[in-house]
């Protein structure tokens, strides 16, 4: 029988004659598209009987049950029993195998109401998911199917009726990606309306495809522009181009929420079928709070969602528009055209349309580049959770953990707990957790600072202390009980975990930690993009476990588990702090998993041996790591925010490298002169320990500001708009500047970077904001830059050093005035 190697990408099922048939779509190793048909798998779920009930009698009574519900015949085709781990106990669970997925729902409800049934389990794991898990099929990796060509009508190179399918290697596909983007007619500005306004341009970008389709003619040099006769033709041309290119992945930016729904609405107007599915089906929208759009076979990825939800935490940007994300990830950004004028240009068939087409293609290019860049991360997640790309690329952290656990539960003979009921969710939401310990730094200048932090603190606590619901206060001889070191005595007495045997969640997390350590070891010797993506995936997954245990909607939720993790965290950090103090070090700062202390004349080696001592006492997986040694550091009086004090400090290491946290230098909306002065003051103080010199430096800057000899580029302030100009309640200088730009016909909106300078005068600051091309060197206001930029940037640093820089500067000004008169 023929064998074909292929990479599964997507899967679905259909019921034929009351029998489910699985279809796996993918790319064969020879490049052709493939459909694999498998009708051998049956849906099932589990029943747990009440104590004392007879499994044999139950199985006999239910086996063969059959009911006709509407047009479906729903039948129990088998009932057998297996030893399974049910919430930590080994039980005889009864597996109910049925003829089709709908029968699961039906019999689930029937059994739930039976008095002899204690619980119904895994009756909500989707059929395709069940199939992939039970058959150990890992999407995006290399598999081999054995079977004959099937006579079914699919638009793929192969259609194989599978006799057997198996993963043959961990090698993953490099998917063929096609990005797309639309521009719409928008006479009402931001107010887009897919019912009334047409799509005027649509771009496609792939390795071998650069195309913009539009339906007004204008002169152009670009050979990638394809002119068609109207919007309907544009839609048809889009469909044909995608169909002809046959990508594995079609990608858009916010295409779940905008491009695809818009295209669908427009296509419906013309009764055009968007049958892009490899089975001939149309693209489908799923409504809800966050709608998705899917197509069978070809995988639709909305790269915005993946970047925001999965990579977001490790990016600096807090905005997820295409410009911000591209500039951070690719160092590129959208081309600047004014979209508010597109409708006008369209109406007049203006030559400007050529520029809009360039812009349209560039957005597809950025989307393509982003997708290509993060694809290793998507694929590694796919492999870990064993879900198709469509689902894996849309997951949140909680779903990532949950799907990983469900996948592993099957491999470890564990029954996945059920999802919480609405009532349960409500009650979970009322409880809050005590967080991490923070030791506030005393403002001051410190010498010989050593920093240590716990490597993966929460994951290692879960693994080391066996923290999991199945181990909480149950089935354990007293001598094996480990009480959680809560500060509250009652809680300490009442919450304990059994140490005797590693249970499911701790075992899973231990595996993640050790796998990641092995990979890191390999990467150290030889860099590898895929391995780095894998190490990153394992890290974010392990780190998400603590949050998952305390997440209200999770299957493995446990208030006591989540609360115990932070209690252990506080315990270990306190222990480290106390240990350091006993050895004669002075602890200056600590937050969650890190400790900063000063050597107090002792040798660096003594600090290292202290940590070695701590590590000898720690459980095996836990480790307090040496983070760095800093000959000098400064901690500055923190401004109280709603969440407590914000941390502000700067450290200088032995090689002269400065680490700055929480100071304005790292923020954008300060002028360069303020940032530079702050950085230089920090450098003089830390490197040379010379406060007088720092003071002189500031005085010199002030003098130059007063002479208006500081370059305009250094007094320029850049601020990013976060919303529409009209929706700002308080008009700050950046809003005033944005309005000036708008009045000059420059495109401004959310995401635009506004650059302005404050000029002299008696009006409000916002009325003195000017754009760079409106002013010359002498126009900036020295007073503003001295009092509102430079002084505030360095004030607290000098405060720590016992100086009032305001006074120093004022005196100098005063004496100068004296000389003058």
Partner DNA sequence: CCATATCGGGG
Partner DNA sequence: GTGTACGATATGG
Enumerate binding residues for DNA (CB under 7 A): 13, 20, 43-45, 101-102, 104-105, 108, 122-128, 130, 181-184, 186, 188-190, 192, 253-254, 257-259, 286, 288-292, 304, 308, 319-323, 339-340, 342, 363, 396-399, 419, 551, 553, 723, 749-751
For the chain, the 3-state helix, strand and coil shares in percent, each to the nearest 5, are 40, 25, 35
Give the DSSP H/E element, type plus range, for residue 55. Answer: helix 55-62
- Nearer to DNA by Cβ, of 399 and 466: the residue is 399
Nearer to DNA, 11 or 209 (CB): 11
Cα–Cα distances (Å) from 655 to 59, 497, 651, in that order, read 73, 46, 11
Smallest separation, CB 415 to DNA (Å): 12
The residue among 125 and 251 lying less far from DNA, judged by its C-beta, is 125
For residue 632, the number of C-alpha atoms closer than 13 Å in the C-beta half-sphere is: 14
Q: Where are the alpha helices (DSSP H) in 583-651?
A: 604-617
Q: Where does residue 305 rank: exposed (0-12), middle (13-18), buried (19+ CB within 10 A)? A: buried
- Distance of closest approach, residue 750 Cβ to DNA, in angstroms: 6
Tokens of 411: 């491999």
- In whole angstroms, the minimum distance from the beta carbon of 687 to DNA comes to 37
Give 405 or 705: the residue with its C-beta nearer to DNA.
Answer: 405
User: Smaller CB distance to DNA: residue 149 or 427?
Assistant: 427
The β-bridge relationship of strands 249-252 and 177-184 is parallel
Compute the least distance from the CB of residue 751 to DNA, in Å. Answer: 6
Residue among 5 and 335 whose Cβ is closer to DNA = 335
Angle between helices 559-582 and 529-549 (to 10 degrees): 110
Closest approach of DNA to the CB of residue 101, in Å = 4
Distance CA 805, CA 691 (A): 11
Output the smallest distance, CB 290 to DNA, in A.
2
C-beta closer to DNA: residue 104 or 533:
104
Minimum distance between the CB of residue 539 and DNA, rounded to whole angstroms?
Answer: 18
Contact status, residue 249 vs residue 207, Cβ threshold 8 Å? no
**Cα 753 to Cα 750: distance, rounded to the nearest angstrom:** 9
Q: How far is the CB of 209 from DNA (least distance, A)?
A: 18
Residue 656 burial (10 A CB sphere; 0-12, 13-18, 19+): exposed
| Per-residue DSSP letter, 140 | T
Residues 709 and 22: their CA atoms lie apart, in Å, by 74
State the nearest-atom distance from the C-beta of 93 to DNA, in Å: 14
Sheet strands (E) in 583-645: 586-591, 594-598, 624-635, 640-641, 644-645
* For DNA, the closer CB: 624 or 738: 738
Q: Who's near 493: CB < 8 A, 6+ residues apart?
A: 483
Minimum distance between the CB of residue 560 and DNA, rounded to whole angstroms? Answer: 20
Count of CB atoms situated within 10 Å of the CB of 515 = 15
Which of residues 261 and 441 has its CB atom nearest to DNA in the complex?
261
SS3 state at 466: coil
Q: Which is nearer to DNA, 6 or 548 (CB)?
A: 548
């Amino acid at each position: 029988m023929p064998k074909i190697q292929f990479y599964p990408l997507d899967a679905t099922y259909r019921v034929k004659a009351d029998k489910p048939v699985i279809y796996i779509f993918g790319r064969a190793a020879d490049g052709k598209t493939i459909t694999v048909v498998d009708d051998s798998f049956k849906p099932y779920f589990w029943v747990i009987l009440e104590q004392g009930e007879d499994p044999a009698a139950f199985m006999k009574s239910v086996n063969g049950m059959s009911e006709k519900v509407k047009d479906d015949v729903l039948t129990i085709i088998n009932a057998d029993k297996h030893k399974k781990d049910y919430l930590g106990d080994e039980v005889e669970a009864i597996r109910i195998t049925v003829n089709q997925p709908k029968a699961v729902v039906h019999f689930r409800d029937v059994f739930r109401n039976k008095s002899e049934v204690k619980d119904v389990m895994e009756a909500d794991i989707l059929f395709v998911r069940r199939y992939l898990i039970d058959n150990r099929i890992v999407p995006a990796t290399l598999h081999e199917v054995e079977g004959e060509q099937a006579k079914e009508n699919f638009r793929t190179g192969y259609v194989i009726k599978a006799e057997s399918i198996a993963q043959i290697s961990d090698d993953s596909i490099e998917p063929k990606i096609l990005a797309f983007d639309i521009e719409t007619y928008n006479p009402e500005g931001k107010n887009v309306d897919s019912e009334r306004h047409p799509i005027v341009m649509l771009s496609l970008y792939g390795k071998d495809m650069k195309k913009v389709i539009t339906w007004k003619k204008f002169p152009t040099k670009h050979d990638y522009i394809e002119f068609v006769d109207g919007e309907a033709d544009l839609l048809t041309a889009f469909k044909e181009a995608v169909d002809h290119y046959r990508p594995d992945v079609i990608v858009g930016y916010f295409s779940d929420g905008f491009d695809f729904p818009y295209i669908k609405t427009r296509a419906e107007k013309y009764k055009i079928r968007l049958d892009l599915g490899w089975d001939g089906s149309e693209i489908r929208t799923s409504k809800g709070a966050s709608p998705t759009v899917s197509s069978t076979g070809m995988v639709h990825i909305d790269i915005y969602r993946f970047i925001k939800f999965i990579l977001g935490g490790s990016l600096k940007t807090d905005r997820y528009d295409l410009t911000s994300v591209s500039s951070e990830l690719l160092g590129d950004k959208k081309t600047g055209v004014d979209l508010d004028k597109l409708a006008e240009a369209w109406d007049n068939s203006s030559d400007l349309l050529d520029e809009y087409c360039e812009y349209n293609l560039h957005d597809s290019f950025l989307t393509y580049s982003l997708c290509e860049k993060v694809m290793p991360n998507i694929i590694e997640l796919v492999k870990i959770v064993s879900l198709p790309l469509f689902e894996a690329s849309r997951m949140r952290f909680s779903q990532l953990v949950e799907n990983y656990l469900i996948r592993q539960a099957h491999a470890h003979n564990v029954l996945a707990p059920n999802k919480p009921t609405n009532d349960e969710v409500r009650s979970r939401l009322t409880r809050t957790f005590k967080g991490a310990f923070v030791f506030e730094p005393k403002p001051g200048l410190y010498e010989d600072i050593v920093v240590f932090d716990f490597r993966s603190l929460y994951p290692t606590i879960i693994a080391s202390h066996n923290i999991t619901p199945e181990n909480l206060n149950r089935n354990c001889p007293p001598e094996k009980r480990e009480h959680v070191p809560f500060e509250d005595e009652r809680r300490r007495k009442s919450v304990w975990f059994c140490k005797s045997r590693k249970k499911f969640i701790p075992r899973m997390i231990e595996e993640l930690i050790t796998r990641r350590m092995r990979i890191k070891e390999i990467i150290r010797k030889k860099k590898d993009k895929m391995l780095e993506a894998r190490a990153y995936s394992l890290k974010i997954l392990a780190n998400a476990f603590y949050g998952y245990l305390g997440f209200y909607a999770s299957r493995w939720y446990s208030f006591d588990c989540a609360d115990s993790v932070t209690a252990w965290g506080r315990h270990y950090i306190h222990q480290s702090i106390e240990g350091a103090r006993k050895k004669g070090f002075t602890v200056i700062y600590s937050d969650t998993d890190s400790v900063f202390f000063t050597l107090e004349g002792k040798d660096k080696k003594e600090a290292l041996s202290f940590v070695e001592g701590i590590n000898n006492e720690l459980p095996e997986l836990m480790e307090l790591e040496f983070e760095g040694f800093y000959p000098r550091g400064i901690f500055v009086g923190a401004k109280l925010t709603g969440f407590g004090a914000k941390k502000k400090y700067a450290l200088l290491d032995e090689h002269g490298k400065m680490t700055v946290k929480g100071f304005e230098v790292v923020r954008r909306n300060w002028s360069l002169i303020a940032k530079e002065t702050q950085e230089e003051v920090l450098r003089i103080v830390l490197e040379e320990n010379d406060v007088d010199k720092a003071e002189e430096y500031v005085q010199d800057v002030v003098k130059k500001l007063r002479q208006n000899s500081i370059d305009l580029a250094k007094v320029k302030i850049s601020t990013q708009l976060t919303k529409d100009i009209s929706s700002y309640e308080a008009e700050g200088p950046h809003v005033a500047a944005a309005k000036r730009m708008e009045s000059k016909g420059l495109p401004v909106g959310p995401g635009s970077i506004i650059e302005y300078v404050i000029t002299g005068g008696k009006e409000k600051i916002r009325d003195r904001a000017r754009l760079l091309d409106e002013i010359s060197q002498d126009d900036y206001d020295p007073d503003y830059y001295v009092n509102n930029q430079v002084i505030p940037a360095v004030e607290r640093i000098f405060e720590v050093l016992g100086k009032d820089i305001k006074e120093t500067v004022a005196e100098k000004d005063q004496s100068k005035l004296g000389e003058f008169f």
